[in-house]
Structure 1
Amino acid sequence: MAEQDLRNLLKQLHQSLGSHNYTQSTSLLSRAKIALLKLNALIPSPQTSQPHLRLAREALELGALTSIHLKDPESFTRYFQQLQPFYSLPEDVLPREGGNASKITGLYLLLLLSMGDYAGFHTLLESLEVAAAQAREHGRGGKGLEDDVFIQYPIRLEQALMEGAYDKVWGETTSERVPSEEFGVFSEVLINTIRSEIASCSERAYSSVPIANCKNLLFLDSEGAVVQFARQRDWIAKDGRIYFPQHNQDLMGSEKDILVTSDKVIENTLGYARELETIV
């Protein structure tokens, strides 16, 4: 009875996610976990049957996707961790087919990236590369990381961030290259991270910047948005310019070195932003 209840709940979960009714999804997930507990399938064991393993994996993956839509990174992280014992099972115990390990893992990589956890990002990526190499050694083949759109998307973003190529990040998060709706949820977080980094460079490199340039520099939609952003950072908007009050304090004798690095980032980003205006 519990198995049939769980199947019905999962069907309703798919429907609620499809209709963006995430409040209902959360309620259904709680009931699905209770059903999994009754089946002793919430944590895989040698006694757990393959059908129950499949149902448990599906329920947890739906929970992870719901957490993404609710913009709840802590909940998503818990689901990702709960899924790892299922993802590590041998193919003959729980086939990869029918699951969303690639998508969930790609989303977790993107979460690490949006939080600036580059060490965690590369640690996970290295483990994926090792697992892929071992699979090839044992003749299991399958899709390689280089062909996995869900894994390659965060890899491209990380490379662009490391290069300071913020135009590429902006383009990736605002184009059809986003692999799925869930990946698009991170675009706002990533762009805010970029804005913060550029803003920090700007206030160290310059005493002031024209508001029009600042709009392009920070990927903001209007000069009014620039003024609002400036207030959040205690900048001063006056006479068509943004003034950085902490500029002289921050430099403290090392202005030359900071200007060399910051100017390069800012000039490149301004050029990228102007180019984007002709595209977006």
Structure 2
Amino acid sequence: MDPKLTEVAQLFERFKAAFVRNDFDTCSNFLSQLKVKLTEFRSLPPLFEDTPNAIRELTLARDIYEHAVVLSVKIEDQDAFERDFFQLKSYYTDARDRLPPSPQEYPILGLNLLRLLVQNRIAEFHTELELLSSAALENPCIKHAVELEQSFMEGAYNRVLSARQTVPHETYVYFMDLLAKTVRDEIAGCSEKAYDYLSIKDARQMLLFPSDRDLLAYVEEVTFTVTCIFSFFHIESKLTVLLQRD
């Protein structure tokens, strides 16, 4: 095997070992080194030269960028996600005829759709959908994102919030939590205008929180005044009781 390819493969193994340990600082350091070393492979996009180790280099590079996308979710860096995804995307499109399918392709494509939905980039969401094959659209990861977008646009917020329990891949939880907060902020904003008073029970059911404590944590986090939506003394007394239990 080519010494450069061997070096990159060994460094990638160290990256994956750190990833398993959840040592994401070390992962980020290794990833920076890997990206630099990948620039030495002329078989990779945009050149796509037919070198003796082209298939191995393309496969390894694709695997590295797939891990980079997942790492960006783990460290909650949406900018890094976008950069790494667009570098990875060419391996799914331009190199499709050269490489066997990746089992991570549909989960990552679905994850990107979910990111666009969270960022309210609906036009880009639909553009990405139009580029997918009919087979891809039937994949559970893609269907999950499509159904979420439909529920969101219809205002069926209960379906959006409950969808967290049925995510097709564990990496989706990060974006689902962001989407859930967006939805709850929307519901809370509407409630502020529609109701003079809501009991804790009614507010918890409306916002689909599993417990009063989760509701109260949300109320403390959001910026609108508690009294605009809930009875302040009701919230305060309930919070005091819960804290005393601890």
Same-fold call, TM cutoff 0.5 = yes
The letter of the residue matching 2:154 is: E
2:240 corresponds to:
none
Q: Is the Cα–Cα contact under 8 Å of residues 13 and 62 in structure 1 kept in the other structure?
A: no
1:187 to partner: Cα distance: 2.2
Matched position secondary structure for 1:185:
helix
2:77 corresponds to:
72
Residues 1:90 and 1:79: Cα distance change in structure 2 (over 3 Å): closer
Identity of aligned residues (%): 28
Unaligned stretches of 5+ in structure 2?
237-246
Matched position secondary structure for 2:22:
coil
Unaligned stretches of 5+ in structure 1?
134-143, 243-280
CA distance in 1, matches of 2:187, 2:168: 26
1:30 to partner: Cα distance: 1.1
1:54 to 49, 55, 59: 59
1:33 to partner: Cα distance: 1.0
1:100 to partner: Cα distance: 2.5
Residues 1:183 and 1:226: Cα distance change in structure 2 (over 3 Å): closer
1:97 paired to 2:86: no
Q: Is the Cα–Cα contact under 8 Å of residues 41 and 53 in structure 1 kept in the other structure?
A: yes
1:226 to partner: Cα distance: 3.9
2:155 corresponds to:
164
1:225 to partner: Cα distance: 4.6
1:220 to 202, 209, 215: 209
1:81 corresponds to:
86
2:15 to 13, 16, 19: 13
Residues 1:184 and 1:96: Cα distance change in structure 2 (over 3 Å): farther
Matches within 5 A, 1:1-280: 1-40=3-42, 43-47=45-49, 49-92=54-97, 94-98=98-102, 100-128=104-132, 132=133, 144-174=135-165, 177-230=166-219, 232-236=223-227, 237-240=231-234
User: CA offsets per residue over residues 223-253 of structure 1, 9 Å max, x none?
Assistant: 45545544521231434379xxxxxxxxxxx
1:258 corresponds to:
none
The letter of the residue matching 1:4 is: T
TM-score (norm 2): 0.82
1:222 to partner: Cα distance: 4.1
1:105 to partner: Cα distance: 1.1
The letter of the residue matching 2:21 is: S
Residues 1:67 and 1:42: Cα distance change in structure 2 (over 3 Å): farther
CA distance in 1, matches of 2:63, 2:4: 15
Matched position secondary structure for 2:57:
helix
Greater displacement, 113-122 / 70-79: 113-122
CA distance in 1, matches of 2:95, 2:36: 26
